[in-house]
Amino acid sequence: MRVVKGGSREEWADYVAEMLIARLQVRPALRLCLPTGLTPVPIYERVAAAVAAGRASFRETEVFLLDEFGGVEPDDPGRCDQMLRRFLLANVNLPDARFHRFRLDGDIEAECRAYEQAIGAGCDLTLLGLGGNGHIGMNEPGALPDSLTRRVDLAPETTAASARYFAHDRLPTWGVTMGMATIMRSEEIWLLAAGARKAGIVQRTVREDVSPSLPASLLRSHPTTLLIVDDDAGREI
């Protein structure tokens, strides 16, 4: 895993956004896995501005949502698909048919199998945030390297942390997520972290043994993972 220190939070967001814009320019039919959470928001704003300015396009791109909260209303603004729409997709020209997300009102196992099939050999590029307990997507501590897209229970601390996405206190206790193996099939992975709150878990991700007890550490076995941190998140490495 190569580590890139991106400077201030603004510089870090500029850096990641420009790299993503460059990928879209070189490969317009990019197959992209995108997270939600708060980490990527400034990056998405910059990429949307670049699309508005005609510097990039999602017209041929395919987007796979990384994960989704279960047990919340389909139109809840805290849902991952709603967040990705609000912060990025509503402002870019991605055809709706090429936005892959999870429908959780039917047979969830069948939905997860279909998701795996749609991803096939893997995404070209996967962006990831980093949970405070080292989770990746909703792969909580204990997630195995060969795990696929599936329903998962959230760790209590992940449920508690989700309060910042929801305007009510009916917080999710489960979700569906691409598995560690699904993520690791991606040609490129960018693990993103910003802010002092992430400094400790960034340090553990880089220094602790590679182990399912710290899912982010498993990414160190991937040949092209970049860990891209701002100065605050990277201050202990």
Q: Which range touches ligand F6R (CB under 6 A), out of 106-114, 126-134, 212-220, 229-237? A: 126-134
Asked if 129 touches ligand F6R (CB under 6 A), the answer is yes
Nearer to ligand F6R, 53 or 167 (CB): 167
Q: Which two tokens stand for residue 20?
A: 């993503």
Pairing of strands 62-65, 99-100: parallel
What is the token pair recorded at 42?
A: 């400034």
Contact flag: residue 37 with ligand F6R (CB under 6 A): yes
Fill in the DSSP letter of residue 129.
-
Q: Which helix (H) or strand (E) holds 190?
A: strand 188-193
Using CB under 6 A as the binding rule, the residues of this chain from 74 to 103 that contact ligand F6R are: 80
What is the closest distance, in whole angstroms, from the C-beta atom of residue 229 to ligand F6R in the complex? 13
Say which residues have a Cβ less than 8 Å from residue 192's Cβ, sequence separation at least 6. Answer: 16, 39, 40, 43, 127, 128, 129, 130, 228, 229
For tokens 């995404």, what's the residue? Answer: 123
Of the CA atoms within 13 Å of residue 26, those in its CB half-sphere come to 8
CB under 8 Å to 120, separation ≥6 — which residues? none
Query: Of 46-54, 90-98, 115-123, 131-139, which part binds ligand F6R (CB under 6 A)?
Result: 131-139
- Which residue in this structure is represented by tokens 């704003």? 45
Active-site residue set: 67, 133, 135, 140
Piece of 22-30, 92-100, 130-138, 206-214 that binds ligand F6R (CB under 6 A): 130-138
135 binds ligand F6R (CB under 6 A): yes
**Is 67 one of the binding residues for ligand F6R (CB under 6 A)?**
yes
CA nearest neighbour of 125 among 192, 50, 37, 214:
192
Cα separation of 221 and 102, whole Å? Answer: 28
Strand partners, 62: 31
> Considering only 10-18, 30-38, 106-114, 219-227, which stretch makes contact with ligand F6R by CB under 6 A?
30-38
* Alpha-carbon span 223 to 115, nearest angstrom: 24
- Does 39 contact ligand F6R by CB under 6 A? yes
The reply on whether position 38 binds ligand F6R by CB under 6 A is yes
Which position's Cβ is nearest ligand F6R?
A: 129
Coil/strand/helix, residue 17:
helix
Considering CB under 6 A, how many residues would be counted as binding ligand F6R?
A: 13
* C-beta of 19 vs 42, nearer to ligand F6R: 42
Nearer to ligand F6R, 10 or 26 (CB): 10
**Given the structure tokens 């998405």, which residue do they identify?**
44
The interface with ligand F6R within residues 156-215 (CB under 6 A) comprises none
Residues forming the site for ligand F6R (CB under 6 A): 35-39, 66-67, 80, 129-131, 135, 137
